[in-house]
Amino acid sequence: MASINGFEIEKWKDIEGYEGLYQVSSMGRVRSLTRICKWSGKSERLLNGRILSCPIGSTGYPHVTLFKKSSRKIFSVHRLVAVAFICNPENKPMVNHKNSIRSDARVENLEWVNNSENQFHAFNIGLKRPSRPMLGKTGENNKKSKPVLQFSLDGKFIKRYAGASEAMRQTGIRVSYISRCAIGERKTGLGFIWKYE
C-alpha cells in the first residue's frame, strides 16, 4: 500500500451493489456517503456521510449493517475490503487473514483462498489441530511423504524436496502438477520434470 512519510494512504471504493450509498476503505473502514433521501414519501432530507461503526460479531470478525431502500443487510468488513480491492481471477470463495487476526481487515492482511488453502493456513499457524496425526504435516514431518526430485526439461537435476507439498511451497507450482508428472501421468509439470525418489 502507498504511504507518505511512513503513514499509509487510505483509499476508498464504492461497495458493490451500494454505489453512491456506501464505501469501504483499504484500511478496513466503512462510510456512508452524503446524499438526499426522501422522507415520509414526499419531503427530502440531506443525510451527511459518516464513518460507520463496525462491531465485532460472535465469530470474531467486524461486521457492518448497510441499508438500501427499505431493506438492510449485514456484511463482514473483511469480505467487503477483499471484493473492492483484491483481484480474484480464480474466483476463490474465501478471504483469509494472513496474520490470523480476525479484526484486522486492512487490504494487505487479506487474500482470496479456496477451502483447502484456508485449512492449510489454519494448520500451519496452529489455529486448528488435525484429527489424524499426520494431517497437516508435510515433507519430513510426515512419514507418508515421498521425496520428489526437480529436473529441467533437458534432464539436469535442480533440487530435492522432502515432498510435493514442500516443492509447491518453494516453487509455487501446484501439488497436482508435481505429483501427476512424478507418477507419469504428465510429461512435465509447469516447465519442469518431476520424479519421486
Residue 16 burial (CB count, 10 A):
10
In a domain, 131, yes or no: no
| Exposure class string for 146-155: b at 16+ Cβ within 10 A, else e | ebbbbbeeee
Cell of 50: 459518516
| 101, 109 contact by CB (below 8 A) | yes
Are 93 and 27 members of one domain? yes
For residues 97 and 123, what is the distance between their CA atoms, to the nearest angstrom?
A: 14
How many CA atoms lie within 13 Å of 144's alpha carbon, on the beta-carbon side? 6
Residue 195: per-residue pLDDT = 93
In a domain, 26, yes or no: yes
Supply the DSSP symbol for 140. Answer: G
Are 25 and 102 members of one domain? yes
Are 98 and 152 members of one domain? no
Residue with cell 477451502: 115
Task: Work out the end-to-end distance of the chain between its first and last CA atoms, rounded to an integer number of angstroms.
Answer: 43
Q: Environment class of residue 105 by beta-carbon count within 10 Å: exposed (0-12), middle (13-18) or buried (19+)?
A: buried
Domain that holds residue 76: 1-111
> Looking at the 3D structure of the chain, how many domains does it have?
2
Residue 169: per-residue pLDDT = 85
Are 32 and 100 members of one domain? yes
Coil, strand or helix at 65: strand
Residue 109: per-residue pLDDT = 94
Are 64 and 2 members of one domain? yes
Residue 134: per-residue pLDDT = 45
For residues 67 and 72, what is the distance between their CA atoms, to the nearest angstrom?
A: 4
pLDDT in tens, 20-68: 999 999 999 999 999 888 777 678 888 899 999 999 988 889 999 999 9
Given 111, 126, 159, the domain boundary residue is: 111
For residues 47 and 32, what is the distance between their CA atoms, to the nearest angstrom?
A: 9
* Tens-digit pLDDT string for the chain (197 aa): 555 556 678 999 999 999 999 999 999 999 999 988 877 767 888 889 999 999 998 888 999 999 998 899 999 999 999 999 999 999 999 999 998 899 999 999 999 998 888 887 776 766 655 555 544 455 555 667 889 999 999 999 999 988 888 888 888 888 888 989 999 888 888 889 999 98
